[in-house]
Structure 1
Amino acid sequence: MTETSTRTLTSADEIASFLEQRFGQMEASSPFKTGETVRIADRAGLPSDLGVGDVALMLLDVPGAWSHVLLLTATGMPIVVQIASGNLAKRVPAEAAGA
């Protein structure tokens, strides 16, 4: 069974509150947190000159869809791109992996 409801947002304050609440829900359900470094586990659809070292910094993860990440280009330029969330994984720093 699926229940649905309708909610009318009539003011800028109501819209802002709704968006803040929705963002909090997305953030809470994400396996990645804003500011966390992640590993690019699958480069499908990602040009070879993006994501040097297969490392990115999570800016926003929309669970089940796309993530916005900060990564480096081959020339060393930081750039924000969208990448499929399923192509990312938790990153284990090299020193922790060797311990």
Structure 2
Amino acid sequence: MLTISETRQRTLNSPDEIAAYLDEAFRAMAEESPFTTGDLVDITSRAGLAPEIAIGDVGVMLCDLPRQLWSWVLVFTSGGQRLPIQVQTANLAKREQAKEAASE
């Protein structure tokens, strides 16, 4: 068995080329993601979260990119404010119970 590493270099010459490249990269990453924007999620571990944040241990997925350690999730604070926060992706799970209850 042989493992090789390859590097590719590409020059982006204009803001339009940069934007197109970022758009393509984002779409490819989003397609690989286990979560979709708008998914209801359970926070399965509160490691690193203050007690006043993510009340109910639930939220809505804002952005998850594969092979990244963190995802952006919209949660409530204990004061009733909506707050976008980063949560370790490994500490999130799709909230299947909520989907099942909504369909009944």
Specify whether residues 3 and 95 from structure 1 end up closer, same or farther in structure 2 by C-alpha distance, changes over 3 A only: closer
The equivalent position to 1:96 in structure 2, one of 88, 96, 100, is: 100
Residues 25-44 of structure 1 mapped to structure 2, 5 A cutoff: 25-44=28-47
Unaligned runs of 5+ in 1: none
Q: How many residues align?
A: 98
Q: Which amino acid aligns with 1:61?
A: D
Whole-angstrom distance in 1 between the partners of 2:54 and 2:93: 14
Q: Which amino acid aligns with 2:40?
A: T
Q: Could you tell me whether the CA contact under 8 Å between 1:51 and 1:71 is conserved in 2?
A: yes
Alignment match, 1:78: 82
Alignment match, 1:52: 55
Whole-angstrom distance in 2 between the partners of 1:33 and 1:87: 16
Unaligned runs of 5+ in 2: none
* Residue 18 (structure 2) pairs with residue 15 (structure 1): yes
Q: Could you tell me whether the CA contact under 8 Å between 1:62 and 1:85 is conserved in 2?
A: no
Runs of 4+ in 1 over 4 A off after TM superposition: none
Q: Which amino acid aligns with 1:37?
A: L
* Fraction of identical pairs, as percent: 46
